[in-house]
Structure formats: C-alpha cells, structure tokens
Amino acid sequence: MGNYYIKDLESITGIKAHTIRIWEQRYRLISPKRTQTNIRYYDDEDVKLLLNIALLNKKGLKISKIANLTLPQIHSEALNSCKECNENDDLINSLILATYNLNEADFNKVFAEYIFKEGFENAMLKLGFPFLQRIGDLWVSDAIHPALEHFASNIIRNKLQIAISTQTYRRTDAKKFLLFLAPGEMHEISLLFANFVISSAGHEVLYLGQNTPVNDFESILSIFKADYVLSIFTNCKADIDPLKFVNEIHSYQPEIKILLSGFQILSNKDKLMESVDNKENVSILNTPHELSAIVRNV
C-alpha cells in the first residue's frame, strides 16, 4: 500500500492541492490520515476515490452532487461514465497507481484482462497508448520520477516483443517493410507496435530498431528489397532532419513508399510535404489506427 502526500495527489490526479483541501473541508469527500508527527497523508483507496471524483467532475457532475453519493455509487458512476464515453480512464488510473507503487503484478493483471477481452492490438490502441500519454505528461511536468516512466515503458515493451514473437502468419503476396529509428531517436514503443501490426497482417518486417545509422541504408536496401520504409521522428534534437532523410532514401530507391509519424513529423507535416521529393510515395500517419488500415489493404 502506498502513502501519498497532497503534492503526490495533485500530480497523479491533476487536481490542485487547494481544490483537494476544499473538497475535504467543505464536502468531506476524502479524509487524510496522519503520521505520528501529525503530517497528513493518503492511501491507495484515497487516490482511487479522488481519481473517480475527478473523472465525474470532468464529465460535468457537480461536486455537491458527487458528495451526496456513497462510495460504491461514485465508483459505479465513474465506470458508467467511462463506458458511455468509450474511454478507459478507470483502467488507466489503475495502471498509473500500479506504476506509482512499482507493482508489476497489478499492472500485468489490468493489461492481461483487457487483452483477453479486446485482443492485443486494441489493448495497445485503447489502453496502452493513452496510458503512456498520461505517464508522459506526468514525466514532462516533473510529476513522476523518470524511473517510474521507465518501469511502465519496459513492461509494455516486453509485452510487445512477446506479441511480435508469436506472429507466424505470412501472406503469399506479403510486402516488405523496413522499420527503424534514426540516430538520436531512442523511444521505440511505437515502432515495436508497428512491427506487431505489420507482422500480424502477414507482411515481412526487417526491424533495425533505435538509433540506426542512416549511412548504411543504401547497402541495406540493396539487400532487403523493401516496398515500404517506416520511421518515427519524435526528438526535435535528433541527429537527422526528416526532410533530408526522406530525400536521401528516395535517392537510393525513388519508388519506395515511406511512412512517417511522430511529434516532429505531425507538428511540421505541411511544411514537410511541401518540400519533399516524390510526394506521391510519402504518407504521414496521424494515428496508430491509420497504419492498421494501410497494412491490411496493400
């Protein structure tokens, strides 16, 4: 069981500390415990309750109304709200809590149950990526220690690698996909997911992973006759400019199709597409869902 101070609650839930105190004092929604030295703290159940209250309040239910509900009713209403909006906030909150507690067993339980219900691809699209986005937001705002972000990311990375290793189906008309991250790009979960999606659709994947030297591409493409190259550009300080990369790949093989995604691409996609050579052979993926549509229809 974790012990949390009000600053921790503010970081986890996104609710300001003074608002939490008002909810405590005016509505008695949550009751802090106290240490032997009279310092206020909260436990796991308090965090879960506050996350559910925050969700209901975000959906438009007034705090005064929430305060009149029993604890089971608050939890039930929060679950119904998630279902009605086709969201998984409650499960994401459970994953965040497991991450704060470094509880791999609880983390795996939540994920495994969702995979059993929805399948691995949907588990990543509907639960994994939204959770990683929340964790990323907490990390960027210094609300979560980097070690916790690594803890969660490594669990999901391992699940992706296991899922990829089980893919044995191969289409007779399979296309060849070359997947890599350029020098300076180290976050490969999205690329691993692309590997899973492409492999599960029956296509052949050559996965080069993170921080791949671009100088080797001419020789690689001469051996592995790729139909598609897929890369993700997230780091604005990466060692290669996306435009230069695209034009260089097309200088080796003008007919190859290039799929691009990532923050750096999406935030500059209009400028990129205006300047790139062979525009007809370049596609920008705005969401992971778009890759699924492409690989199942080529």
* Domains present along the chain, CATH in parentheses: 1-83 (1.10.1660.10), 88-166 (1.10.1240.10), 169-295 (3.40.50.280)
Record the pTM: 0.73
Which of the pair, 3 or 232, is modelled with greater confidence? 232
Mean pLDDT in residue range 100-123: 93
Structure tokens at 158: 């391992």
In the prediction, which pLDDT does 53 show?
Answer: 86
The average confidence (pLDDT) of the chain is 86
User: What's the sign of the alpha-carbon dihedral 47, 48, 53, 56?
Assistant: positive
Q: What letter would DSSP give residue 261?
A: E
What's at 234, amino acid-wise? T
Q: How far apart are CA 109 and CA 116, in angstroms?
A: 11
Q: How far apart are CA 245 and CA 251, in angstroms?
A: 10
Q: How far apart are CA 20 and CA 102, in angstroms?
A: 25
9: left (phi over 0), alpha (psi -120 to 50) or beta: alpha
Phi, psi of 235 (to 5 degrees): -80, 115
User: What's the sign of the alpha-carbon dihedral 96, 101, 102, 106?
Assistant: negative
What size, in residues, is the chain? Answer: 298
In the prediction, which pLDDT does 122 show?
Answer: 94
**For residue 76, how many other CB atoms are within 10 A of its CB?**
13
Range from 28-42, 47-61, 108-122 carrying the lowest mean pLDDT: 47-61
pLDDT at position 86 over 50: no
Range from 45-49, 205-209, 235-239 carrying the lowest mean pLDDT: 235-239
**For residue 108, how many other CB atoms are within 10 A of its CB?**
14
Residue-wise pLDDT for 170-205, tens only, equals 999 999 999 999 887 878 999 999 999 999 999 999
* Contact indicator for 95, 107 with CB cutoff of 8 Å: yes
Helix (H, G, I), strand (E, B) or coil at 146: helix
Task: Give the residue among 236, 85, 210, 201 at the shortest CA–CA distance from 153.
Answer: 210
In the prediction, which pLDDT does 84 show?
Answer: 52
Which of the pair, 2 or 250, is modelled with greater confidence? 250
Phi, psi of 282 (to 5 degrees): -125, 130
User: What's the sign of the alpha-carbon dihedral 136, 294, 163, 212?
Assistant: negative
In the prediction, which pLDDT does 93 show?
Answer: 82
pLDDT bracket for residue 237 (50, 70, 90) = low
- Name the percent of the chain lying above pLDDT 70: 91
Mean pLDDT in residue range 215-222: 86
Q: How far apart are CA 62 and CA 66, in angstroms?
A: 6
* Contact indicator for 50, 13 with CB cutoff of 8 Å: yes
Q: Spell out the alpha helix ranges (H) of the chain.
A: 6-13, 17-27, 44-58, 63-66, 71-84, 89-100, 104-118, 120-123, 129-140, 146-165, 189-200, 217-223, 242-252, 263-266, 269-275, 288-295
Q: How far apart are CA 250 and CA 229, in angstroms?
A: 10
Q: How far apart are CA 289 and CA 122, in angstroms?
A: 10
pLDDT at position 59 over 80: no
* CA angle in degrees (0–180, nearest 5) for 164-115-291: 55
Mean pLDDT in residue range 68-83: 77
In the prediction, which pLDDT does 282 show?
Answer: 92
Q: How far apart are CA 115 and CA 155, in angstroms?
A: 14
